Every structure is written in C-alpha cells, then in structure tokens.
Structure 1
Amino acid sequence: MTETIHPFYEAHRGAMEAAMRIRLDLAEAMLRERAHLSDIDGIRQEVMDEFDIVLTQMPYVGGADSRMSDFFMRLIGFMAISRVLRQHAVPVPVIGEIERETYKAQLLTVSEEERLAAGRQFMSPENLALLREQAVLSSTSSHQDAFPEDFVYDFVEPGPGDNFEFGINYRACGFCKFAARHGDKDILPNICGLDFDAYATRGIRLERTQTLAGGASHCNFRFSRLS
C-alpha cells in the first residue's frame, strides 16, 4: 500500500475532509437510530482516521484532465464510512441506506438553481462531446498503461425507439478495482447506490439495470432529463 497521498489529492484534501465532516453530521441521527451506535464522537474519529488511509490508497487517474478524478474525490470517502460501520457489525444493507440518505441530504444543501444548472451542463452538447472524447481515450492501450486503475467506458448513442438521450457503458470500474485490491467488495454496491440520487438531484434520470459490481459485463448507465 502506498503510504503517501498523491499531490493532486493532497491539493484537494481540505475540501474532501470538510465534505466528510458534513456527511458525519448529517448521518448522526441515523447512526444512533439505525446502526444503534452510541459513541458518535468515537465513530467520527474512526471514520476520519480511516479516511486518512483511504486517501493514501486512492489511485491517480489523470487529475484534472480526467473526469473520473472527480468521481473518486466525491465518493471514495464512503469507503471509509463503510469500513468503520462494518467493523462495528452494522449490516451492509443498513450501511448502504445510511450512506445514500446522507449523500442525498448533502447534495440538497446546494441550491436547486445550482444543482439544476449542473444537470443542464452535464446534458449539454459540449459535455457530450467531452464524454465521447474521454470514452475513446479511456479505451486506448496508452491510457490504460498509464492509469491502470481508471475506468474504461463507451459512449452509447440512442437508437430508434430508445427513451434515453445518451448512455455510458462502463466496461471497467475504478471503484471495483479499488474494492478488489483492498478487501472492500462486500461494501462496493453501496457506492453504486449513490449514483441515482447524485443525478436525480440535478434533474437527471438515471436508468441502470446491471453493474460490474453485481457480476455483469458492464454497467449500463442511461441518461435523460427528468423534465
């Protein structure tokens, strides 16, 4: 295990730690009522200590040049929460419920105007062009050699009769690789569950019927506008 944090993540460490503290504040009541934990201050410290470890384990996938860097920075902290709650014998489905509701509450702290603007940007022609470009790049041998822990994906154009605007098929998942390397495969589906609220709060409908974490050949993300 690498024992230092990559400089790119170190530069964002303060923001990531602040986000973790907000999540723990939002999760406090659920940790008491659903996980039946009483020493919340102790849990907070354990999670932040585990997050320090997770930061050293985060794979570098290209920094600001890769859209997937943001996914790692926003979601990898839930691995730390899951690990600690698992150590306290909280059932994995309960961990998933707590994390999903916590993440939704955190997303909703951003104004509706800002969230919907982010959703429009995601669905914009300019972003779709970027997605197409980075999908092609992700599949090249040079990129996979440079960033073996990155995601690999295809951009999917809608066909006749399809009711989505575009899709992404993830053929390799950075979180799956992370979980396999660090013994987190049982809590991996909790990360997958966060995607639906992440998009819905921005006015985007995500449809997905299979995941790599669930044993499928790819994750079939399909996107359309909620209104």
Structure 2
Amino acid sequence: MAEIHSFYEAHRGAMEAAMLQRLDIAEAMLRDRAQLSDVDRIRREVMDEFEIVLTQMPYVGGAASRMSDFFMRLMGFMAIGRVLRRHRVALPVIGDIERESYKAQLLTVPEAERLASGRQFMSRENQALLREQAVKSHAEEYPEDFVYDFVESGPGDSFDFGIDYKACGFCKFAARHGDKEILPHICGLDFEAYATRGIRLERTQTLAGGASRCNFRFSRVEQE
C-alpha cells in the first residue's frame, strides 16, 4: 500500500478519532435510513477505506496552508461515501447521513468555543490573511491544491466578504479517484460548518456542479 504523507501521519490519531466519533453518531441512521443491519461491519469497512484515503490525500503545504485543515476534516467523508455506495445506499440518503452526522459532531463542541471560532474567521485580521493566501494560491505551488480569489463586499451587498474558488482540491481528488458521484456531499457540509459557528454562508454555484467557480459569501449572524 502507498505511504501516508508524514504531515498527515502526524495527525492520523486525531483524524481516526474524529472518524470513529462520526460513525458512533451515524449508527442509528445507518440502521434506520440506510437499512444496514451489520453496523459493526460497516464501521470496519469505513475505517479500512479511510486508511486508503489517507494514502491518497494530497499534500498542499501542511501547516502553512489553510486548506490542509479542510482535507483533514472532510476527506474521511469520501471513505464513508465509498463504502455506502458499495452497499447500494442511495446517494440522497448518503448525503443526509453525512450532513446530519457532521452537524451533530460539530455541535459537540461547546457553543462559546464555536462562536469564538466564527468571530475569529470573520475578523479583519483573518480577512487580511485570506487576501494574502488567495494571491499565493494562484502560484499553484501544489497541483492538487485550491485556487481562489478574495471578494470584497461593495455598496448594497448583503455579505461581509467572499471567496471565489476557481479550482477545488476535492474536485481534483474526486476526478483522480473516481469519487465524482459522492463529491457533492462534501460541498453540502460547508453550510453546517459555518452555521454552527454563527456564520451565514450563501452559495449559488459550485465547481462540482459544473460552474466555473464556487461563490462563497459570508456574513455574521446576529446572536440573541
């Protein structure tokens, strides 16, 4: 079997723990919605598939790249999707299970911590960093990485700032490894990831859906 990149190997324990937690959360859904009776077998198959996914994950700069975290947090859903497809689970059901289990997992983090993370993401300091990283992304130092532009809000806009992804690491991964039919499920997780941190995400098109860009627009959600 191919080797796991040393950067991901260093984070392997945390990624595996997150996968096991998701499978615990999804257990009832796997039985009731996917109609899979031997959930223990499914768990073993998913973790075996995750081992394969780890060897396939592209290196995009490690700790120096914000996109490394996206790969580490979300690529495990490719393993779940692959296994459920082999068991002939319908794609909409797979999408629902992945989205709902991910949201439940995110909500295990204390609310104060989640909202603090959201405020940091929306901060002027982070926006400045995103501008810098967006420029650097166009150098395409790592072929499997994301390429994106920072979008400033203008008069009359209802968002604080945006990001237009012109190339997507998940799309490249899916094309390389035959995961195109489960790729949209990864896109759907974005809304939960931001909403649980007090951020409203608006997006009307995606690269996975055939558009020329993914148009992320972010705004703060007023807390009561």
* TM-score calculated relative to the size of structure 1: 0.97
Partner AA of 1:96 in structure 2? G
Q: Corresponding residue for 1:22?
A: 21
Q: Corresponding residue for 1:162?
A: 157
Q: Corresponding residue for 1:80?
A: 79
Q: Deviations over 1:184-220 (max 9, x none)?
A: 0000000000000100000000000000000000000
Q: Corresponding residue for 1:62?
A: 61
Distance 2:148 2:88 in 1: 35
Counterpart secondary structure, 2:125: helix
Distance 1:14 1:89 in 2: 30
Q: Corresponding residue for 2:38?
A: 39
Counterpart secondary structure, 2:108: coil
Distance 1:51 1:222 in 2: 31
Deviation at 1:159, TM superposition (A): 1.4
Distance 1:125 1:7 in 2: 33
Counterpart secondary structure, 1:163: coil
Aligned length: 222
Deviation at 1:100, TM superposition (A): 0.2
Q: Give the share of equivalent positions with the same residue, in percent.
A: 80
Q: Which runs of 4+ in 1 moved over 2 A?
A: none
Partner AA of 1:78 in structure 2? F
Counterpart secondary structure, 1:51: helix
Deviation at 1:24, TM superposition (A): 0.1
Q: Corresponding residue for 1:213?
A: 208
Deviation at 1:137, TM superposition (A): 0.1
Distance 2:166 2:221 in 1: 26
Distance 2:77 2:113 in 1: 24
Counterpart secondary structure, 1:194: helix
Within the alignment, does 1:138 sit opposite 2:132 as a pair? no
Counterpart secondary structure, 2:215: strand
- Pairing 1:178-217 to 2, within 5 Å after superposition: 178-217=173-212
Partner AA of 1:110 in structure 2? V
Report the RMSD for the aligned CA atoms in angstroms: 0.6
Counterpart secondary structure, 2:15: helix
Partner AA of 1:106 in structure 2? Q
Counterpart secondary structure, 1:220: strand
Distance 1:135 1:35 in 2: 40
Within the alignment, does 1:92 sit opposite 2:91 as a pair? yes
Q: Corresponding residue for 1:152?
A: 147
Distance 2:17 2:118 in 1: 23
Partner AA of 2:138 in structure 1? S
Deviation at 1:160, TM superposition (A): 1.5
Unaligned runs of 5+ in 2: none
Unaligned runs of 5+ in 1: none
Distance 1:33 1:221 in 2: 34
Distance 1:207 1:62 in 2: 28
Q: Corresponding residue for 1:101?
A: 100
Q: Deviations over 1:127-176 (max 9, x none)?
A: 11110000000012xxx1x3000000000001111000000000000000
Partner AA of 1:124 in structure 2? S
* TM-score calculated relative to the size of structure 2: 0.98
Q: Deviations over 1:31-67 (max 9, x none)?
A: 0000000000000000000000000000000000000
